[in-house]
């Protein structure tokens, strides 16, 4: 049920207000790296929305990355609300992004509230793990 591939001219799933091609699409294709922890968080949400497990693995810290990742095809991720950030800027080495991600599935609508941790690895932002919220 994931949205699957989308056109570069479509609205980006991360709801940045940009097109997919100008926003997360170029990160997913490896044409650019996320400039901030929030940009990486948005690109990871978009990867869930379009079903790009390879990008999710590439953007995961080597110390916490699983060997494989199988996405739930029956979930459709459709909205991302950034609740706050700490660090994660252009000159920072680490950061956190608190967010709520909304999905639809066979049992109806739901959401995931999380505070994700990010660090720079090899000069680029990667997902380290979550702090965990309700």
Per residue in 40-89, pLDDT tens? 999 999 999 999 999 999 999 999 999 999 999 899 999 999 999 999 99
Q: Is residue 15 part of a domain?
A: no
- Give the per-residue pLDDT at 39: 98
Q: Is the pLDDT of residue 134 over 60?
A: no
- Report the relative pairing of strands 94-105 and 108-121 from DSSP bridges: antiparallel
Burial of 109 (0-12, 13-18, 19+ CB in 10 A): exposed
Is position 43 within any domain? Answer: yes
Q: What percent of the chain has pLDDT over 70?
A: 94
**Residue 79 belongs to some domain of the structure:** yes
Whether residue 12 is contained in a domain is answered as no
Q: 56 in a domain, yes or no?
A: yes
Q: Which domain holds residue 81?
A: 24-130
Mean pLDDT computed over every residue of the chain: 94
Number of structural domains found in the chain: 1
Residue 122 maps to a domain: yes
The SS3 call for residue 129 is: strand
Position 4 pLDDT exceeds 80: no
Q: Which CATH number do you get for residue 89?
A: 3.10.450.50
């Amino acid at each position: 049920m994931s949205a699957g591939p989308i056109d570069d001219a479509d609205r980006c799933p991360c709801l940045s207000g940009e097109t997919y091609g100008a926003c997360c699409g170029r990160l997913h294709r490896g044409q650019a790296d996320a400039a901030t922890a929030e940009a990486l968080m948005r690109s990871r949400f978009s990867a869930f929305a379009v079903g790009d497990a390879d990008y999710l693995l590439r953007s995961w810290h080597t110390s916490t990355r699983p060997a494989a990742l199988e996405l739930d095809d029956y979930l459709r991720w459709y909205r991302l609300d950034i609740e706050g950030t700490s660090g994660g800027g252009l000159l920072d080495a680490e950061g956190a992004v608190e967010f709520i991600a909304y999905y639809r599935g066979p049992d109806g609508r739901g959401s995931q509230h999380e505070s994700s941790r990010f660090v720079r690895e090899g000069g680029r932002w990667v997902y380290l793990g979550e702090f965990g919220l309700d």
